[in-house]
Structure 1
Amino acid sequence: MLDALTVATAVAALALAAWCGWAAYRDQPTKDWHFIGMAVVTLLTLVQLVVGIVLLARGEKPEQGTTIFVSYLIGALACIPAAGFMSLAERTRWGSITVAAGGVVLAVLQVRLYDIWGG
């Protein structure tokens, strides 16, 4: 898989987590700018999903199995939108904490995707 895309997605997820963590520290809910950041990170995971499917279609195989690889790709794609929707339900600092946690989870999923592919 593309290592640069995986690293870029992980770094963007950690930057989003730090940004939302800072908002939570300042006792602020998620704002429109945070949702733009979430959209950028989600776009990166969507690109990663497409690249992963294209690689599988070309015949390349992940080291630890195709099913678990595709499952992790779909989970990574759903991680930030799910946290974003949950932050809309909780319009306090806890919404920002939820998105920050989602960013950390996505970064961990990126490390796991790298391992599954055979990095």
Structure 2
Amino acid sequence: MLVTILIVLALAAVVIIAVKNAGKRLSGQGGCCGGGGDEFIDDKKVLDHPEIAEKKVNIQGMHCEQCERHIQRQLNRIDGLSAEVNWKKGEALVKMDREIKDDLIKRTIERLDYHVTDIQTVQRS
């Protein structure tokens, strides 16, 4: 009888943890592949003013196109910034029409549970 109770409690704990994690992913709060609450929108953003800078952001933790869209959508919410993210290359190219601190870009991405390894200014020729 005691063994049965322990097994039921262990299974209940596993189910609770699984439901909690699934809820995070489906609400778009998980690091990968959830994004259930995000409706599909055109991710191409046009800057309001002439571009003054471009940066390449190296990102770890993207595993699919959903990860790519999730990061791109959040970056494009920043005024003065237009992003194109490539999950296969593990990078985002961001164009800016005003000065935007690297820390804001990094925080925006890392708040989504991805990791920024480097941000480099792209030299124009």
TM-score w.r.t. the length of structure 2 is 0.26
Q: Which has the larger radius of gyration?
A: 2
Structure having greater relative contact order (Cα 8 Å, sep ≥ 6): 1
Q: Structure 1 or 2: larger strand share?
A: 2
Q: Structure 1 or 2: larger helix share?
A: 1
